[in-house]
Amino acid sequence: MENTVISPNQYTEEELIKHFPGFTHQHANVNGVELHYVDGGSGTPLICLPGWPQTWFSYHPLAQSLAENFRVIIVDIRGMGSSEKPAAGYDKKNMATDILELVKQLGLTKVHLMGHDIGGMVAMSFAFNYPDFVDKLIVLDGSHPSEGMLQMPLIPPAGTFTEKMDTNTPYAWWMGFNQIKALPEKILEGRFQYLLDWLFEYVMIDASKMGTLDRAVYASAYNEAASIRASNAWYQSFTQDIEDAKHYNPLEMPVLGIGSNVSYNYMKMGLPYVATNVKVEGILDSGHYMFEEQPKKVIELVNGFLAF
C-alpha cells in the first residue's frame, strides 16, 4: 500500500459525516473532558465505542444498517479523534464514567453497548461498574484487561512472527511499545501511516479491505504527538485496569462476544469467567478489523443478538 498524501481539510468532521447520511456531529462536556460523538437513527439507543488506532469513522461500514433499528451513538472515547486529550484519566473505569455521564446528559436510562478493541474494554468496564444502565453488551476483539496480559511474550517463539499474525501464538508487540512514555510520539509524529499500513497488513486476512480513505483518516487522526500520547495512555493504564477488575462481580446482563480469527478462542475461554449470560461467536474469515473485512456478518450477529 503506497503512502497516502494527507490533506487535513479533506478529513474534517464536516467532510467525513457525509459518509454517514442522517447522522450529525455533537460534542458534550462530561466528567471533565469534552467528547465528540455522532448520532443517527431512532429507537433503542446503541452506544458504539471504537478502538486503536481508529476513530468514530471505523463504524461507517455498519452505521447505516444499524440505524435502521436503533439510535446509534458513536463516541470518540477520551483521547481519540476529535475528543479532548487530557493528561490523565485513561483507566477504563474513569473512561466508563465519561460514557455514563454522556448517557445521562442525553437523558437515557438504559442502553445497548458495543465496543471494539479498546472500545470493548471501556464497554466492559461500563457494564461492570454501571450495570443498571446496560440492557445488552457486545464486545468485539476487546475484553477487559486481565492478568493474562502479564503473560504475553516479550520475544515471539521461533517461526511465529511472520507477515501475518499467528492465530495460535499471536505476537502483539505494540502492547509493550505503547507502554513507553514520550518516545513513540517522537518517532511516529507525522509518520503514523507507516505503523498503520504495517499493522493492517499484519492483523487482517485481507488488508485491501481497509481502504485508502480509511487509512488516510486514521493517519490524519493519529499524526499529532498529543494523539499518540493520549492513545498510548489507554495501554499504560492496563495495570490499574487489572487491579480494578479484581473487585468486579460477574456480568449478569446478556453479553455477546465476537472474535476474529485470532481472538475467538481466547474470548470463548475468557468471557464465561466474567459473565453469566454470555454467547461467543467467531468470524474466522476475518482478522482483527472485522467491520472492514466482514461487515455483513458483524451486522447480522449484532442485529440477531439485540432483537431478542
* Catalytic residue check, 194: no
Q: Is the pTM of this model over 0.85?
A: yes
| Per-residue DSSP letter, 131 | G
Of the candidates 113, 145, 141, the one whose C-alpha atom is nearest the C-alpha of residue 241 is 145
d(CA 274, CA 278): 9
* Catalytic residue check, 288: yes
| Per-residue DSSP letter, 163 | S
pLDDT in tens, 68-79: 999 999 999 999
Question: Are 217 and 192 within 8 A, CB to CB?
Answer: no
pLDDT in tens, 273-308: 999 999 999 999 999 999 999 999 999 999 999 997
Of the residues 76, 117, 141, 214, only one is catalytic, namely 117
d(CA 258, CA 131): 20
CA dihedral 194, 196, 202, 206 (to 10 degrees): -120
List the grid coordinates of 65: 444498517
Of the residues 59, 235, 264, 289, only one is catalytic, namely 235
| Per-residue DSSP letter, 2 | P
List the grid coordinates of 288: 482483527
pLDDT in tens, 29-60: 999 999 999 999 999 999 999 999 999 999 99
Whole-number average pLDDT of the chain: 96
The pLDDT of residue 9: 58
Residue 4 confidence (pLDDT) above 50: no
Question: What per-residue string of b and e applies to 179-198 under the rule 16 or more CB within 10 Å gives b?
Answer: eeeeebbeebbeebbebbbe
d(CA 17, CA 57): 9
In 48-117, which ranges are continuous DSSP H helix? Answer: 63-66, 92-105
Of the candidates 171, 196, 194, 211, the one whose C-alpha atom is nearest the C-alpha of residue 295 is 211
* Catalytic residue check, 141: no
Question: What φ, ψ does residue 34 adopt, rounded to 5°?
Answer: -95, 125
**Residues 6 or more apart from 142 whose CB is under 8 A from it?**
51, 115, 116, 117, 118, 119, 120, 121, 123, 124
Binned at pLDDT 50, 70 and 90, residue 63 comes out as: very high
For residue 149, CA distances in Å to 15, 61, 238, 287 come to: 39, 30, 9, 20
pLDDT in tens, 152-193: 999 999 999 999 999 999 999 999 999 999 999 999 999 999
- What is the pLDDT averaged over residues 105-131? 98
The pLDDT of residue 264: 97
| Per-residue DSSP letter, 211 | -
Binned at pLDDT 50, 70 and 90, residue 1 comes out as: very low
pLDDT in tens, 243-271: 999 999 999 999 999 999 999 999 999 99
Residue 217 confidence (pLDDT) above 60: yes
CATH number of 8-306: 3.40.50.1820
Of the residues 36, 112, 144, 288, only one is catalytic, namely 288
H or E segment to which residue 76 belongs: strand 70-76
Domain boundaries, the chain: 8-306
H or E segment to which residue 291 belongs: helix 290-293
Question: Are 119 and 51 within 8 A, CB to CB?
Answer: yes
